[in-house]
Amino acid sequence: MLILSILAFFAAIFLLAAITVAVAWMGFVKQTGEAEAAQDEGNSGLFRNERLSSLNFWDSLLTRFDFIEILKVRMAQAQLEWSVGRVTALMLLCGAVAGFLLLKILPVWGAVAGAIGIGFLPYGYILRAREKRFRAFREAFPDVLDSLARALRAGYALPAAVDMVASDAPEPISTELKKASAEANLGMGWDRALENLARRVPVLEVNIFISAVVLHSRTGGKLGEVLSGVAENMREAISLQGEVRALAAHGKLTGVILTALPLVIALMMVIFSPGYMQTLYFHPWGKTLIAAAIACLVLAQLVIRKIVDIKI
C-alpha cells in the first residue's frame, strides 16, 4: 500500500510537471504567433488574424466544431483577450488532471463526471466575467442616456452626441459606443452599427435604446425626451433588481452553507477519526456512496440557486 501511494505521488508530480511545460510551450508559441500577426498587420492593416490557435493542428481541429463560435462570442462579450485554442486546451488539461486525481477516491463514473465538471470551470469563469460586465453596463447605462439626451437637447446630432458621450462614459459603455461610432463612420450606417451593438451587448436596456433610436429615425420626434424617460424607467428597474438580489442573497448563502457543511464534517472526521471514515472508503460500495453524496450536494446547490434566482 505504501509503495502504491509513493508511485501515485510521483506520477502526479510528473503529470503536473508535464502540464506546466506544455502550458509554457504553448504560451511561447502563442507569443511568437502574436508577434508575427502584429508584423503582418503592420504590413497590411486591412486584414485581421482570425485563427483560433497559434498551433496549426489545434486550429484545424477546432474549426470542425460549431460550439467554438459560441465560445468565441462569449469571450468577446466578456472582453477577454484570450484565444479560443488556449481556453480549450486549459479546459482539457483541467479535466485530465481532475480525472486522474478523482480516480483515487471515486468510482470511474464519478471521476468522469467530476472531470467534466471541473473541465468546464474556465468556461464558467468566462460566463461569470460576461455577466459581471453586462451588470456594470446596465447600472451605468441610464446616466449615459441622460448625458446623451442633454447633448441632443443642446443641438448636437446623434453621431456627434454619441462621440461626445463615449469619451466621458465609464467602461464598458465607452468601449462599446466607440465601436458603434467607428462602424457607423466607416460607412456601415447607424442601423447596422446599432444592430452590432445589440449583438455584442445582448441586454434589454440596449435593445430598448436601439428601438427608440430606430423609431425616431423613421417617425421623427424629440429623441432627447424619449431617452430621458427611458433612463428613468431603467433606474426604477435596476433599483427593483437590486432589492430582489438583496433578498435572494440570504437564500444563496443558506445554500452554500448547507452544501459545504457535510464536506466540512467529513474533513473533520478524517482528521480526528480516520478509522471511522476508512470503513466507508474501503467498503465495496464506499466510493459509489461518496460519489452519489457529492452529486446530490451539487444538484441541491443548483436547485437552491435556481429557486432564489428571480427574474424581473
How much of the chain, in percent, has pLDDT values that exceed 70?
78
190, part of any domain:
yes
278, part of any domain:
no
252, part of any domain:
no
Q: What is the CA radius of gyration of the chain?
A: 26
Nearest partner of 209 among 193, 230, 232, 189, judged by Cα: 230
Domain count within the chain:
1
Q: Quote the pLDDT of residue 93.
A: 86
Average pLDDT, the chain: 77
Q: Quote the pLDDT of residue 240.
A: 84
CATH code where residue 215 lies? 1.20.81
* Cα dist from 80 to 25, 73, 156, 195, 214, whole Å: 21, 10, 34, 22, 30
- Mean pLDDT of the region 252-262: 85
221, part of any domain:
yes
By the 8 A CB rule, do 158 and 193 touch?
Answer: no
Q: Note the pLDDT tens digit of each residue in 127-166.
A: 999 999 998 888 888 888 888 888 888 888 888 888 888 8
Q: Residue 207 belongs to what domain range?
A: 134-236
By the 8 A CB rule, do 53 and 27 touch?
Answer: no
148, part of any domain:
yes
Q: Quote the pLDDT of residue 51.
A: 63
DSSP state of 170: P
Q: Quote the pLDDT of residue 50.
A: 60
pLDDT of 54 > 70? The answer is no
Q: Note the pLDDT tens digit of each residue in 75-122.
A: 888 888 877 778 888 888 888 888 888 887 788 888 888 888 888 888
The DSSP-derived string for 225-290 is: HHHHHHHHHHHHHHHHHHHHHHHHHHHHHHHHHHHHHHHHHHHHHHHH-HHHHHHHHTSTTHHHHH
